[in-house]
Amino acid sequence: MSGLLKSSIARKVAMALSGLFLIIFLIQHFTINFTSVISADLFNEFSHFMGTNFVVQALLQPVLIFGVIFHFVMGFMLEIKNRQARGVKYVQFNGSANSSWASRNMIISGAVVLAFLALHFYDFWVPEMLYKYVEANPEDPSRYYAELVHKFESPVRTGIYALAFVLLAFHLWHGFSSAFQTMGVNNKYTPFIKKFGYTYAVVIPAGFIFIALFHYFNH
Amino acid sequence: MNLKLKIWRQKDANTKGKMVDYQISDVSPDMSFLEMLDVLNEELIEKGEDPVEFDHDCREGICGSCSLQINGEPHGPDRGITTCQLHMRMFKDGDTITIEPFRAKAFPVIRDLIVDRSSFDRIQQAGGYISVNTSGNTIDANAIPVNKHDADKAFDAATCIGCGACVAACKNASAMLFTSAKVSQFALLPQGRVEATQRVLNMVKQMDLEGFGNCTNTGACEIECPKGISLENIARMNSEYLSASLEG
Ligand code: SF4
Ligand code: FES
């Protein structure tokens, strides 16, 4: 098994597994965010739990950060290798004749999501880490809702947020079923996996955009 | 039909190539694409110019030699065909047609539109065979029962003619469709199972060594493949590869 990550297929499988892990994480993130639409207290309660639970903070959080970094670094490495594999570029390349925009531009949708994540970390994660671990403020279980709502006051931020999720939708549109194909699953369940993937790719990002717009217009 | 052709001209592997424009008139819609190029070449020879070099052999869609990236697609705009099976009726009078060689680092240009596809041969040599004693005591293939479903799938995979359109169409110049077809045609049959583990490991290793890109499942290969080789084969190769590397 050593050197497994040296082969093209192993790298692809690593991309698929980290992608599926992030897809699962997205459901959890979405569920908690969605509670902010239902009730401020509920959202505070969940956020307080996630922000202070030892397992979440010390175990799941590092795994998640590793997963994100791994998926991006590997994605960029593969993109570079793939570009080199063409050698001389075509004068005319009619990609849209045989494949979808989403499938050919995972690097673009991925890079936009990465840029968004940088902003997202700056907005939420970095202040959260400073608040909790550097300044060592006492925990106030009711602060989370206000922090969230505050971020969606600006139309620019809300706009960027929505745009990033549109690109995430494209990324998931191809990525979801692609991950299964890479792991060797292509059988009678494939049409179902594809449909489920397309639904997921639309519903989850649309849900995140809905939450952002909800708070923006709620001011 | 009168057409404008933009064709890649390159003297040899070490010379820089460029696109050159040609005019061709009175093209019949019933001509095959290669016949149209034959006419152009006759005109060029008459004028004392070098003819455009391109690969061809059977001219009936079974050998896989004819290549050509036509208007940005391998084997041109039609589906399920090779370039020798492409007819000029797919084009309109006054069209401009761009003709380039298949592009991949693992398919270096030899001259004009001819590329060296021996990287495919080396992938095949790395494991695309079964070791049987053929010295007089061969067993009739039909003596070993194979279920119809597997036999059909293996046969479908075996129809790959090694043309390289999958690589040419892929934005990553990946050879996964070709390699997976060659893995699958044996993986599904009892005769092929004996060496299955080593086969998939060696063929994938050779594929990577040749400098082909990594599949990102765009599906372009399957659409452009003249033999309709399915992406299912790539999934099969991936799972064969994973279980083989966990075993080994
Ligand atoms: S898989 Fe299809 S496109 Fe690729 S080499 Fe075989 S026949 Fe040609
Ligand atoms: S010349 Fe043989 S397939 Fe076209």
Question: Could you name the CATH architecture of B118-247?
Answer: Orthogonal Bundle (1.10)
Give the A window 177-206 contacts with B, CB below 8 Å.
Answer: 178, 181-187
Q: What is the pLDDT of residue A118?
A: 93
**Looking at the complex, does the CB of residue A101 fall below 8 Å from at least one CB of chain B?**
no
Distance B182 CA to ligand 1 centre (A): 10
- Of the residues B37, B55, B62, which should be mutated to test ligand 2's pocket, given the most ligand atoms within 8 Å of the CB? B62
Q: Which of A2-6, A30-34, A140-144 has the highest mean pLDDT?
A: A30-34
**Looking at the complex, does the CB of residue B103 fall below 8 Å from at least one CB of chain A?**
yes
Of A57, A191, A199, residue with least CA distance to A128: A57
Ligand 2 atom closest to B55 (CA)? 1
Is B232 within 8 Å of A181 (Cβ atoms)?
A: no
**A58 or A208, which is more confident:** A208
- Name which of B177, B214, B245 to mutate to probe chain A: the one with the most chain A Cβ atoms within 10 A of its Cβ: B214
Distance B158 CA to ligand 1 centre (A): 10
> A-chain residues within 8 Å CB-CB of B108?
87
**Looking at the complex, does the CB of residue B78 fall below 8 Å from at least one CB of chain A?**
no
By C-alpha distance, the chain A residue nearest B215 is: A12
Residue B176 clears pLDDT 90, i.e. is over it: yes
Residue A141 clears pLDDT 90, i.e. is over it: no
- Three-state SS sequence of A25-72: HHHHHHHHHHHHHHCHHHHHHHHHHHHHCHHHHHHHHHHHHHHHHHHH
Q: What percent of chain B has pLDDT over 70?
A: 100
For tokens 């499988």, the residue is A13
Q: What is the pLDDT of residue A24?
A: 96
Distance B83 CA to ligand 2 centre (A): 7
Backbone angles phi, psi at B239, to 5 degrees: -70, -35
Look at residue B52 and give its three-state secondary structure: coil
Q: In whole angstroms, give the CA distance from residue A102 to residue B131.
A: 43
**Looking at the complex, does the CB of residue B192 fall below 8 Å from at least one CB of chain A?**
no
Pocket of ligand 1 (CB under 6 A): B 160-166, 177-178, 181, 225-227, 229
Q: What is the mean pLDDT of residues B81-110?
A: 98
What tens digit of pLDDT does each residue of A175-192 get? 999 999 999 999 999 999
Q: What percent of chain A has pLDDT over 70?
A: 98
- Name which of A17, A84, A88 to mutate to probe chain B: the one with the most chain B Cβ atoms within 10 A of its Cβ: A88
Residue A1 clears pLDDT 50, i.e. is over it: no
Q: In whole angstroms, give the CA distance from residue B134 to residue A152.
A: 75
Handedness of CA B150, B60, B62, B133 (dihedral sign): positive
Ligand nearest to C-alpha B212? 1
Q: What is the pLDDT of residue B248?
A: 66
Q: What is the mean pLDDT of residues A112-139?
A: 88
Instruction: Give the strands of the sheet with B18-24, arranged side by side.
Output: B18-24, B3-9, B96-100, B69-70, B73-74
Ligand nearest to C-alpha B163? 1
Instruction: Return the CATH class of domain B3-111.
Output: alpha beta
CA distances from A149 to A40, A216, B4 (A): 10, 8, 61
**Looking at the complex, does the CB of residue A8 fall below 8 Å from at least one CB of chain B?**
yes
Residue B18 clears pLDDT 90, i.e. is over it: yes
pLDDT tier, A3 (very low <50, low <70, confident <90, very high otherwise) = low
**B208 or B132, which is more confident:** B208
Q: What is the mean pLDDT of residues B12-16?
A: 96
> A-chain residues within 8 Å CB-CB of B169?
98
pLDDT tier, A2 (very low <50, low <70, confident <90, very high otherwise) = very low
**Looking at the complex, does the CB of residue A90 fall below 8 Å from at least one CB of chain B?**
yes
pLDDT tier, B135 (very low <50, low <70, confident <90, very high otherwise) = confident
> A-chain residues within 8 Å CB-CB of B220?
95, 98-99
Which regions of chain B carry the CATH code 1.10.1060.10?
A: 118-247
Across the interface, whether the CB atoms of A182 and B217 are under 8 A apart is answered: yes
What tens digit of pLDDT does each residue of A85-102 get? 999 999 999 999 999 999
Handedness of CA B207, B211, B216, B218 (dihedral sign): negative
Backbone angles phi, psi at B38, to 5 degrees: -60, -45
**Looking at the complex, does the CB of residue B172 fall below 8 Å from at least one CB of chain A?**
yes
Residue A4 clears pLDDT 80, i.e. is over it: no
Q: What is the mean pLDDT of residues A141-165?
A: 92
Which regions of chain B carry the CATH code 3.10.20.30?
A: 3-111
Is A151 within 8 Å of A123 (Cβ atoms)?
A: yes
> A-chain residues within 8 Å CB-CB of B246?
1
